[in-house]
């Protein structure tokens, strides 16, 4: 068995796939994470996109320097999406409460 260096995706999988009800699949070439068949997170570049309430997303963009608007492939998304950027994927463990907040928000929201 090879001792391979963990990838960004493997770090994020380890964090998100242990949450109850979370599944992963590719969508438009991106690794995405779903709960109740609705996407709540998506790997893009050096970060992970998360869906939160527009108010929470806006507040986080102003209060944290590692959070920006989410625009995978340069395409702007809605105000409910932010991107959390981490140079070292292992540091995403520090964002566990954000992942849970995103999962809870999407699970509680009605389909749009």
Lookup: tokens for 55: 């108010």
Instruction: Give all domains of the chain, ordered by start, each with its CATH number.
Output: 8-108 (3.90.1150.30)
3 state DSSP class of 92 = helix
Judged by average pLDDT, the poorest of 13-22, 52-61, 71-80 is: 71-80
Please report the pLDDT score of residue 4 as a whole number: 64
Tens digit of pLDDT for each residue in 76-103? 678 899 999 999 989 999 999 999 999 9
Find, among 105, 107, 39, 103, the residue nearest to 77 by Cα: 39
- The answer to pTM > 0.85 is yes
Residue predicted with more confidence, 72 or 13: 13
Tens digit of pLDDT for each residue in 34-58? 999 999 999 988 899 999 999 999 9
Place of tokens 């409910």: 80
């Amino acid at each position: 068995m090879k001792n391979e260096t963990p990838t960004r995706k493997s770090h994020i999988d380890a964090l998100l796939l242990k949450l109850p009800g979370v599944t992963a699949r590719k969508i438009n070439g991106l690794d995405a994470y779903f709960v109740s068949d609705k996407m709540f997170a998506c790997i893009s570049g050096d970060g992970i996109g998360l869906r939160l309430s527009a108010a929470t997303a806006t507040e986080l963009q102003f209060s944290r320097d590692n959070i920006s608007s989410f625009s995978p492939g340069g395409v702007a998304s809605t105000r409910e999406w932010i991107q959390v950027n981490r140079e070292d994927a292992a540091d995403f463990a520090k964002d566990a409460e954000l992942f849970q907040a995103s999962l809870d928000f999407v699970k509680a929201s009605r389909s749009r």
